[in-house]
Amino acid sequence: MQALASGERNLLKQALSRCRSALVGVALVSALINILFLAGPLFMLEVYDRVLPSRSVPTLVSLLLILVFLYGCQGLLDLVRNRILARVGAYVDRVASEACFAQATALPIRGRSNDGLLALRDMDQVRSFLGGPGPSALFDLPWIPLYMAVCFSFHAWIGFAALAGALFLLVLTLATDLASRRPSQVATLLSLEKSNLAEAASRNGEAVRVLGMVPHLAQTWSVLNARFVDRQLQLSDVGAGFGSISKSFRMFLQSAILALSAYLFIGGEVTSGMIVASGILVSRALAPVEVSIAHWKTFIAASQSWKRLSVLFKAGERGEKLALPAPVAKLDVEGLTVSAPGAQTPGLVQASFSVSAGSALAVVGPSAAGKSTLARALVGAWPAARGAIRLDGTMIDHWEPERLARHIGYLPQDLELFAGSVADNIARFDPAASPEAIIAAAKAAGVHEMISKLAHGYDTQIGGGQGSVLSTGQRQRIGLARALFGEPFLVVLDEPNSSLDQAGEAALTSAIRGVRDRGGIVVVIAHRASALEACDQVMLVSEGQTQMLERKRDVIRSVPAASQDQGPGQRIAATTAAAAPAERVHAIGERP
């Protein structure tokens, strides 16, 4: 995250640049490995040209001992190279994975909600490739000319035959690339799509089973899976086809070189040792090409992942911003127009209002009026298409997101808790959070006693992403405590009492008053009037337009005398119902 905040253009390139010395070491080790590979052909050359004619056993034993030592060194160097590459991949992952996760969570805001998991998989793909056998083959490719030069030193015809074989395998490599690139892209997207469907079905398993959706979703998943398998089969056929051709051709070429060498031996142009040595040399020279073809699928996948991650990091690039003072006075919204990510029609148009410290604004109106759109914009979850949101005169876009989060409390309509303890969820998983701050947030939300009655109190583990060990109302109250953690200046609550009982609603009212008493601002989105008891201002939103903004006591005074015996919430409901045509605005507590 620090590297991302510093404005680096590409964390992957940055990480690799820091591994420059390690990669130079790998190149040097590869050079030694490839030079040592000449030991085998030279050994055969000496055996056939020196040992057999002289029938010298001591010479044979000496050559064999030297060969054992050289092969041992080669094996050790190969192990070192593989370990270095594995650690390079791990280092790249360590440097970029945190920023990758952060950017993946921001993708839904950019209208790319299905790309988050793909980004994390791309990071795994890059790490796996860097630590696999593919890079080793790439480091071996530049040494093919060495083996070709040795072949030419034996005889020009042998060298040209080996060169022709290498060019043919190069053509096969390019053909493999062209044939596999598009199916690989489609297979990756299909894999993500079917995984998302399975995850959604698992997360909503109860509703899926009760509503009889299992066979229908299973059929949809089966279609996606069949298309994915088809693309995988296509990739497998391409890889196996070209791999078999390259393997067969290399075996044929080795035999052809042997036959050519034998022909030249009959003509007295090469020695018997060169016959065997040239075959081994050609086999070794073409081995990196064959390995590259065999691992071309992973190479293509890694290159595509690298490109997507580069685009992702570039889109999330931002420079270091000046640390701003904590807001203490006012929230201003000026001509705010907001659209949902990926949507063409704005959900909120030209909204303007101001709220001072110590106030609570109730935002009311019918469903799909733009209330939740406003809530998401106020906390910076959705960007403004036009207009501005200011805290103490400073646009929220001028804040570092992590620093702005310290002054923002947010309870979304669709609440999600995460696997971990109750304390972790309240503290927003901040490892530096103090127990005192966690308990203070719980008490501010009126949930301390409820948590204390749980089996393990604040250490109670929440099962799964939905908090399955807790009831819906308990999850919502813990979500309120999370919103109040750290005493943020601006607290935005979207339908905070949708699942609360009477005690929970009383705790919510007390929490709103507590924020006002300490000089904070609360914006409450609600249908139920009970959530508005502690609010002092009311704003009506309908069809994306701000319809009314008044102080609550003025709204209550405007209610006819016949309704003065009602509670404040009911009187606000009556007034807001009369403030606009019934077909456009529903009273608080009613749903369309």
- Which residues make beta-bridge pairs with 394? 391
578 has pLDDT over 50: no
Flag whether pLDDT at 211 surpasses 70. no
pLDDT of residue 492 exceeding 80:
yes
The CATH number covering residue 368 comes to: 3.40.50.300
What is each CA distance from 523 to 508, 549, 571, in whole angstroms? 13, 13, 20
Distances 167 to 141, 249, 313 between C-alpha atoms, Å: 13, 12, 38
**Nearest partner of 376 among 360, 359, 393, 363, judged by Cα:** 363
Higher pLDDT, 232 or 84: 84
* Token representation of residue 560: 């006819």
**Please, which residues have CB within 8 angstroms of residue 542's CB and are 6 or more apart in sequence?**
365, 366, 369, 580, 584, 585
Q: Please give the tally of structural domains in the chain.
A: 2
Q: How far apart are CA 293 and CA 287, in angstroms?
A: 10
In terms of Cα–Cα distance, which of 554, 559, 557, 553 is closest to 573?
A: 559
Least confident range of 29-38, 322-331, 424-433, 457-466? 457-466
- CA–CA gap between residue 466 and residue 478 (Å, rounded): 12
Distance CA 447, CA 453 (A): 10
Q: Give the span between the Cα atoms of 345 and 546, in whole angstroms.
A: 17
User: Measured between alpha carbons, how far is 160 from 167 in angstroms, rounded to an integer?
Assistant: 10
- In sequence order, what are the residues at sequence separation of 6 or more whose Cβ sits closer than 8 angstroms to the Cβ of residue 186? 231
For residue 210, the Cα-to-chain-centroid distance in whole angstroms is 32
Predicted local confidence at residue 485, as pLDDT: 93
Q: Percentage of the chain surpassing pLDDT 90?
A: 18
Together in a domain, 312 and 370: no
pLDDT digits (tens, 9 = 90+) for 277-295: 888 888 887 777 777 766 7
Mean per-residue pLDDT over the chain, rounded: 80
Return the half-sphere exposure (C-beta side, CA atoms, 13 A cut-off) of residue 482.
Answer: 25
Which tokens go with 89?
């991949």
Helices (H) then strands (E): counts for the chain: 23, 12
Please say which residue of 265, 293, 318 terminates a domain: 318
Residue 387 tokens, joined: 């207009």
Rounded to a whole number of angstroms, the CA Rg of the chain reads 35
CA atoms within 13 A on the CB side of 79: 6
434 in a structural domain: no
Please state which of the ranges 142-156, 216-230, 482-496, 560-574 shows the lowest mean pLDDT: 560-574
* Measured distance between the N- and C-terminal CA atoms of the chain, rounded to whole angstroms: 44
Q: What is the DSSP string of 87-128?
A: HHHHHHHHHHHHHHHHHHHHGGGGT-TTSHHHHHHHHHHHHH
Q: Are residues 93 and 4 in the same domain?
A: yes
Rounded to whole angstroms, the Cα distance separating 372 from 132 reads: 47
Greatest alpha-carbon pair distance for the chain in Å reads 125
DSSP β-bridge partners for residue 551: 537
Global confidence as pTM: 0.66
When mean pLDDT is compared across 228-242, 428-442, 567-581, the lowest value belongs to 567-581
d(CA 512, CA 505): 11
The domain boundary residue, chosen from 318, 338, 365: 318
398 shares a domain with 310: no
Task: Name the β-bridge partners of 492.
Answer: 410, 523
* Cβ 265 vs Cβ 162: under 8 Å: no
138 domain residue, yes or no: no
Of 356 and 197, the one with more pLDDT:
356
Q: Are 361 and 353 in contact (CB under 8 A)?
A: yes
Q: Count of residues for the chain?
A: 592
pLDDT at 147 over 60: yes
Range scoring the smallest mean pLDDT among 302-306, 334-338, 581-585: 581-585
Q: Tens digit of pLDDT for each residue in 381-428?
A: 888 888 999 998 888 888 887 888 889 999 988 888 888 889 999 998
Of 481 and 128, the structure prediction assigns the larger pLDDT to: 481
Residue span of the structural domain in which 549 resides:
327-407+489-592
Amino acid making up residue 167: L
DSSP 397: G
Residues linked to residue 362 through DSSP beta bridges, in sequence order: 524, 538
Q: Which DSSP string do the residues of 199-232 spell out, in sequence order?
A: HHHHHTHHHHHHTT-HHHHHHHHHHHHHHHHHHH
User: Is 67 a domain residue?
Assistant: yes
**169: which 2 tokens?**
């395998």
Q: How confident is the model at residue 206 (pLDDT cuts 50, 70, 90)?
A: low
Can you list the pairs that 26-32 forms with residues at least 24 positions away whose Cβ atoms lie under 8 Å? 26/81, 26/84, 26/85, 26/88, 26/135, 26/139, 27/139, 29/77, 29/80, 29/81, 29/84, 30/81, 30/136, 30/139, 30/140, 30/143, 31/143, 32/73, 32/77
Asked if residue 186 is part of any domain, the answer here is: no
Residue 463 DSSP one-character state = P
Give domain status of residue 569, yes or no: yes
Mean pLDDT of 138-160: 86
Question: Using an 8 Å Cβ cutoff, are 12 and 310 in contact?
Answer: yes
Q: Using CA atoms, how far apart are residues 278 and 263, in angstroms rounded to an integer?
A: 13
Measured distance CA(114)–CA(560) in Å, rounded:
52
Identify the sign of the CA torsion 137, 141, 143, 147.
positive
Q: Are residues 546 and 589 in the same domain?
A: yes
Please tell me whether residues 310 and 341 are part of one structural domain: no
* Section 127-132 average pLDDT: 82
Reported as a single tens digit per residue, the pLDDT across 47-97 is 888 888 888 899 999 999 999 999 999 999 999 998 998 888 888 888 877
pLDDT digits (tens, 9 = 90+) for 39-55: 888 898 888 888 888 88
Q: What is the pLDDT of residues 326-362, one digit of tens each?
A: 888 899 999 899 888 767 788 888 888 999 999 999 9
Tell me if 358 is assigned to some domain: yes
Q: What is the pLDDT of residue 3?
A: 42
Q: Which residue has the tokens 């070491």?
A: 25
Q: Is residue 44 part of a domain?
A: yes
Residue 230: pLDDT over 70:
yes
Q: Does residue 100 carry a pLDDT above 80? A: no
pLDDT of residue 515: 93
Q: What is the pLDDT of residue 464?
A: 54
Give the residue-averaged pLDDT of 554-572.
Answer: 46
Report pLDDT digits (tens) over 514-547: 999 999 999 999 877 777 788 888 888 888 787 7
Q: Which residue, of 318, 353, 380, is where some domain finishes?
A: 318
Give the pLDDT score at 437. 93
Specify if 269 maps to a domain: no
Q: How many CB atoms lie within 10 A of CB 207?
A: 10
Contact status, residue 297 vs residue 133, Cβ threshold 8 Å:
no
Point out the least confidently predicted range of 66-75, 314-323, 568-577. 568-577
Q: Parallel, antiparallel, or unpaired for β 408-411 and 490-494?
A: parallel
Across 12-21, 143-152, 337-346, 480-489, which has the greatest mean pLDDT? 480-489
pLDDT at 289: 74
Residue type, 83: R
Can you read off the two tokens belonging to residue 193?
Answer: 């799509």
DSSP designation for 530:
G
Position 518 scores a pLDDT of 92
How confident is the model over 419-459, as pLDDT tens digits?
888 999 999 888 888 999 999 999 999 999 999 988 889 99
